[in-house]
């Protein structure tokens, strides 16, 4: 077996295992970290498929920003952990299983053409990096960081229990 297949299998199992943990964990913060594992597994799969830019965006946006946002949302909110009902769990399991079987049946019957090498209009990751770190965009990046910092400070002030 080639190494690429072994790595694909490893990262696919990591992604599926993290997604299963995401759905089965009772504590919300633990589920957020399981979602981060699923996002990182997807990024590794994108990297194996040769889509380095999509993998980088997956890591930055989903594994980074969305996971941190969800973790802040869980930690800054006042909530109680509630148990799930058995009827809801069974209904969710049946729905997920039937969706999985439907997608598997579609993929089994579908015929996908083999793709060739990228054409002349192909943009490399290096070109995107040079464009993203162009000094002309420096002010926009700094202002975006300042806006995010102000939003975080505002969230902490709103979540504080005692009055200033």
Share of the chain above pLDDT 70, in %: 85
Burial of 64 per CB tally in 10 Å (0-12, 13-18, 19+)? middle
Cα separation, 51 vs 34, in Å, equals 23
Residue owning tokens 């300042």: 146
Share of the chain above pLDDT 90, in %: 19
pLDDT at residue 161 greater than cutoff 80: no
Q: What is the mean pLDDT of residues 137-155?
A: 84
Cα separation, 41 vs 14, in Å, equals 6
pLDDT at residue number 103: 87
CB atoms under 10 Å from CB of 90, counted, come to 10
pLDDT at residue number 34: 92
Q: How confident is the model at residue 94 (pLDDT cuts 50, 70, 90)?
A: confident
Q: What is the mean pLDDT of residues 95-107?
A: 86
pLDDT at residue number 164: 52
Alpha-helical runs (H) found in the chain:
3-24, 28-48, 52-57, 67-76, 86-109, 125-132, 138-159
Q: How confident is the model at residue 84 (pLDDT cuts 50, 70, 90)?
A: low
Q: How confident is the model at residue 114 (pLDDT cuts 50, 70, 90)?
A: low
Instruction: Identify whether the C-beta of residue 68 lies closer than 8 Å to the C-beta of residue 24.
Output: no
Q: Which two structure tokens, joined as six digits, stand for 13?
A: 């199992």
Residue owning tokens 């993929």: 107
The CATH number that domain 1-80 falls under is: 1.20.120.1200
Mean pLDDT across the chain, nearest whole number? 82
Instruction: Identify whether the C-beta of residue 22 lies closer than 8 Å to the C-beta of residue 62.
Output: no
Q: Which two structure tokens, joined as six digits, stand for 114?
A: 């083999």
């Amino acid at each position: 077996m080639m190494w690429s297949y072994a790595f694909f299998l490893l990262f696919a199992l990591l992604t599926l295992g993290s997604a299963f943990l995401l759905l089965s964990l009772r504590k919300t913060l633990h589920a957020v970290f399981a979602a981060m594992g699923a996002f990182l597994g997807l990024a590794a799969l994108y990297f194996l498929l040769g889509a380095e830019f999509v993998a980088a965006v997956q890591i930055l946006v989903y594994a980074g920003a969305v996971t941190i946002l969800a973790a802040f949302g869980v930690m800054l909110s006042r909530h109680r952990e509630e148990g799930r009902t058995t009827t809801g769990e069974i209904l969710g399991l049946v729905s997920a299983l039937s969706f999985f079987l439907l997608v598997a049946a579609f993929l089994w019957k579908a015929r996908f053409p083999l793709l060739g090498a990228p054409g002349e209009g192909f943009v490399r990751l290096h070109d995107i990096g040079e464009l993203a770190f162009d000094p002309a965009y420096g002010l926009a990046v700094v202002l975006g960081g300042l806006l995010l910092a102000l939003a975080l400070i505002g969230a902490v002030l709103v979540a504080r229990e005692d009055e200033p």
